[in-house]
């Protein structure tokens, strides 16, 4: 590499900066995280590509077909190498988010195939979400394998419990009032800046997610934790 006293050094630095700008624009336009450049897998891909002259990036079709199949097989092989030696010494829990594929077809046949590959005596339980269709599918699995325990997802169950609690009129009223207050502060630039800079004690108000009913309670819990800050803000001359 040329020294700093060599004009080639400054020429290389200029080229480096231009390439950096191209990478930066790709990150900004695609909405990629900044730490992608520190990720081990990204660095490995970059180092490999440097050693291949005139390397051409794969297109969407290749990424979604051949390369995806290759990666699936490699991950499957690594998983089996870790998992199968443990069978017989420990039991397996199978989790499944839904009982249909992207075409809307049942995947119960595929699940049975997985059970047979693992050997039925090694499978202890199935865990799925609590939708009625999943409970019915679970019954079909248990007809073939009566020893397998079928259970619903605890997180999903708690989320549904929060939904049911939220149906009480006084809780619904509390949700609505709190959400209006939080939305007003966060959706207006001036109120949001004033609250964060002068009254928030390092915390921020939280807005709920439409289908994550627990987040309504999290929103209220955070607002309650900041109640003195909110009171101070509303009484401030600012």
What is the DSSP code string of 25-44?
HHHHHHT--GGGGG-HHHHH
Residue 60: inside a domain: no
- Rounded to whole angstroms, the Cα distance separating 122 from 37 reads 41
Is the pLDDT score of 74 beyond 90?
Answer: yes
- Return the higher-pLDDT residue of 203 and 145: 145
What percent of the chain has a predicted confidence (pLDDT) above 90?
A: 30
Region 68-97: mean pLDDT is: 87
Looking at every residue in the chain, the average pLDDT score rounds to 84
Out of 153, 179, 212, a domain closes at 153
Region 97-126: mean pLDDT is: 81
8-state DSSP, 100 = B
Dihedral over Cα of 82, 127, 216, 100: its sign: positive
Region 134-157: mean pLDDT is: 81
- Return the higher-pLDDT residue of 16 and 69: 69
Kindly state whether residues 48 and 72 are assigned to the same domain: no
Kindly state whether residues 143 and 96 are assigned to the same domain: yes
- Sheet of 92-96: strand order equals 92-96, 123-128, 149-152
- Rounded to whole angstroms, the Cα distance separating 169 from 210 reads 18
Residue 180: inside a domain: yes
Is the pLDDT score of 128 beyond 90?
Answer: no
Kindly state whether residues 149 and 165 are assigned to the same domain: no
Is the pLDDT score of 165 beyond 80?
Answer: yes
List pLDDT tens digits, range 34-48: 999 999 999 999 999
List pLDDT tens digits, range 195-229: 888 777 778 888 888 778 889 999 999 999 988 88
Out of 153, 188, 223, a domain closes at 153
Do residues 119 and 84 make contact, with C-beta atoms less than 8 angstroms apart? no
Residue 190: pLDDT band with limits 50, 70, 90: confident
Number of domains in the chain: 3
Pair of tokens at residue 85: 């030696």
Give SS3 for 200. Answer: coil
Kindly state whether residues 209 and 137 are assigned to the same domain: no
pTM for this prediction = 0.55
Residue 172: pLDDT band with limits 50, 70, 90: very high
Task: Identify the domain containing residue 20 by its residue range.
Answer: 7-54
Do residues 138 and 147 make contact, with C-beta atoms less than 8 angstroms apart? no
Kindly state whether residues 165 and 146 are assigned to the same domain: no
Kindly state whether residues 148 and 166 are assigned to the same domain: no
Region 73-87: mean pLDDT is: 88
């Amino acid at each position: 590499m040329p020294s700093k006293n060599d004009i080639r050094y400054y020429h290389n630095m200029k080229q480096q900066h231009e390439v950096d700008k191209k990478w930066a624009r790709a990150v900004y336009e695609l909405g990629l995280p900044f730490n992608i450049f520190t990720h081990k897998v990204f660095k490995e891909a970059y180092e490999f590509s440097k050693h291949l002259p005139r390397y051409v990036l794969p297109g969407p079709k290749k990424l979604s077909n051949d390369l995806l199949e290759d990666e699936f097989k490699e991950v499957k092989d690594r998983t089996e190498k870790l998992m199968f030696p443990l069978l017989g010494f420990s039991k397996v829990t199978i989790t499944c988010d839904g009982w249909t594929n992207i075409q809307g077809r049942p995947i119960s046949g595929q699940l049975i195939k997985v059970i047979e590959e693992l050997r039925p005596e090694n499978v202890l339980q199935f865990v799925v979400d609590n939708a009625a269709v999943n409970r019915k599918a679970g019954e079909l699995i248990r007809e073939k394998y009566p020893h397998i325990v079928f259970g619903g997802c605890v997180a999903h169950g708690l989320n549904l419990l929060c939904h049911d609690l939220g149906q009480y009129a006084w809780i619904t009223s509390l949700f609505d009032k709190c959400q209006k207050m939080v939305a007003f502060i966060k959706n207006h630039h001036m109120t949001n800046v004033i609250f964060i800079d002068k009254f928030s004690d390092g915390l921020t108000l939280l807005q709920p997610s439409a289908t994550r009913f627990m987040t309504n309670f999290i929103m209220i819990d955070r607002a309650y934790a900041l109640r003195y800050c909110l009171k101070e803000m509303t009484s401030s001359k600012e």
